[in-house]
Structure 1
Amino acid sequence: MEVGKTNGEILDRLNTLLTRTRDGERGYQEAAENVKDTELKSLFLAQSRQRGEFAMEIDREVRTLGGDPETTTSLVADLHRAWINIKSTITGHSDKAIVEECKRGDGQALDDYQEILKNTSLMASTRELLLRQKERIESAHASMARLADVV
């Protein structure tokens, strides 16, 4: 663990996580708009709301630490959502393809959380917040993996 991180570096990493969390919120929203199955639509909307709550929590944490929260999404996520739209069009809005993309997105989110938790010296309250969020994303990722096998 890098113990010499300055507050600015920690805020940068939290802001990166905040941006990616907002990406997940929008990605799930996009997925909900593109699936046919109403249960999947409800699940994706719930995941989108959850990621929105996570973003608000990280936003508050950044402010608590004296930083200015990022307010945008990443270019990579914008491109990913465009890819979901293209892929959905090509596959006839295949629910399976969309679930696979959500699973992939959750996998990336888990990598992002692992990175900040492993390589950043965080206050206990910040670490607890991120560990709780990571646990819920792990659950969503497992659900997407199971769904990908049956859709």
Structure 2
Amino acid sequence: MEVGNTNSEILDRLNTLLTRTRDGERGYQEAAENVKDAELKSLFLAQSRQRGEYALEIDREIRTLGGDPENSTSLAADLHRAWINIKTSFTGNDDKAVVEECKRGDGQALDDYQEILQSTSLPASTRELLLRQKERIDSAHASMSRLAQVV
């Protein structure tokens, strides 16, 4: 584990996580638009709202630490959402394919959280926030894994 990260390094990593969290929010929104099942649609919209709340919390944390939050999504996420649209158009809006993509996205989010938590000396309040969010994303990832088996 690196120790003694500068405030600038911490803010850069938090901004990257903020961008990825917004990616997740938009990804779940896109997923909700691409499924037929009403329960899945509702689940994906709830996950989108949750990621939006996480983004607001990370945004506030960045400001508390004296930084300026970025207001963008990543190119990779834009491509991922385009891929969901393309894949669902070829598979007839296959709900299973969308669930699998949400599962994959949550897996990437967990990797992002793990990376910042392991490689960055974070203030205690920031670490607590990220650990809480990571735990809930882990729960969503487990749900998507179970759903992928039954959809």
Residue 99 (structure 2) aligns with = 99
**What is the distance in 2 between the residues matched to 1:132 and 1:5?**
22
Give RMSD over aligned pairs: 0.3
Q: Identity, % of aligned pairs?
A: 86
Residue 149 (structure 2) aligns with = 149
Residue 61 (structure 2) aligns with = 61
Q: How many Å apart are 1:128 and its aligned residue? A: 0.2
Where 1:71 maps in the other structure, the secondary structure is coil
**What is the distance in 2 between the residues matched to 1:55 and 1:94?**
29
**What is the distance in 2 between the residues matched to 1:122 and 1:65?**
11
Matches within 5 A, 1:1-151: 1-151=1-151
**What is the distance in 1 between the residues matched to 2:70 and 2:41?**
28
Structure 1 unaligned blocks of 5 or more: none
Q: How many Å apart are 1:94 and its aligned residue? A: 0.1
**What is the distance in 1 between the residues matched to 2:3 and 2:10?**
11
Q: How many Å apart are 1:118 and its aligned residue? A: 0.3
TM-score using structure 2 length: 1.00
**What is the distance in 2 between the residues matched to 1:3 and 1:142?**
32
**What is the distance in 1 between the residues matched to 2:129 and 2:4?**
21
Q: How many Å apart are 1:4 and its aligned residue? A: 2.3
**What is the distance in 2 between the residues matched to 1:111 and 1:127?**
15
Where 2:3 maps in the other structure, the secondary structure is coil
Where 2:14 maps in the other structure, the secondary structure is helix
Corresponding letter in the other structure for 2:4: G
TM-score using structure 1 length: 1.00
Corresponding letter in the other structure for 1:18: L
**What is the distance in 2 between the residues matched to 1:68 and 1:87?**
36
Corresponding letter in the other structure for 1:106: D
Structure 2 unaligned blocks of 5 or more: none
Corresponding letter in the other structure for 2:141: H
Aligned length: 151
Where 2:36 maps in the other structure, the secondary structure is coil
**What is the distance in 2 between the residues matched to 1:66 and 1:29?**
30
**What is the distance in 2 between the residues matched to 1:95 and 1:136?**
23
Q: How many Å apart are 1:9 and its aligned residue? A: 0.4
**What are the superposed Cα offsets for residues 29-83 of structure 1, whole Å, 9 maximum, x if unpaired?**
0000000000000000000000000000000000000000010000000000000
**What is the distance in 1 between the residues matched to 2:143 and 2:127?**
24
